[in-house]
Amino acid sequence: MNTNEPPPITSASGPRDHNCYDIDPNAAALKVYADDGHNYLLAYAQFLYVDSFANPALEQDPEAPPEKMLIRFALADVVVLGSGLRTLEQALQKYELNHVRSADRRFAAPLKLHVETVTLTFTKENV
């Protein structure tokens, strides 16, 4: 028995901290963890629509995320780039998506979903 083996490395944060999304059937708002380091809470009462499509950046960069999703609220647009985004779309359809954030690709395999980037742009001035 080798007693010199280092102990397994564990993250200071739990495994759920790496999820790029979470579902809550009682969600009244979507928490957006944007890549700029800011967190935003957008009320579902102001949710307008979702537009999902192939990422046009693929034409210029074959390494770009394959899917793009625009989540439009009355005062803000959330753009999500990644793959397997249909899961997010289904949760939004039911108003159950609790949060969205980008995650390292190594956490994508078990979820069959990868959120590479999340950006938020306000659509009205002085917000």
In a domain, 5, yes or no: no
> How confident is residue 112, by pLDDT bands cut at 50, 70 and 90?
confident
The pTM of the full predicted model, rounded to 2 decimals, is: 0.80
**Positive or negative torsion for Cα 81, 83, 88, 93:** positive
User: Which pLDDT belongs to residue 107?
Assistant: 55
pLDDT single digits (tens) 14-29: 334 458 899 999 999 9
Q: Report the 10 Å Cβ neighbour count for 78.
A: 20
Is 6 within the bounds of a domain? no
Is residue 2 included in any domain, yes or no?
A: no
**Domain range for 26:** 18-122
Element (H, E) at 109: helix 108-111
Q: How many domains does the chain have?
A: 1
- Burial bucket for residue 98 (CB in 10 Å: 0-12, 13-18, 19+): middle
Residue 10 maps to a domain: no
Between the alpha carbon of residue 24 and those of residues 28, 54, 56, 127, the distances in Å are 9, 27, 31, 27
The token pair that represents 6 in the structure block? 């280092």
Contact 36, 30 (CB under 8 A): no
The answer to whether residue 115 scores a pLDDT higher than 80 is: yes
Summarised one tens digit per residue, pLDDT across range 21-79 is 999 999 999 999 999 999 999 999 999 999 999 999 999 999 899 999 999 999 999 99
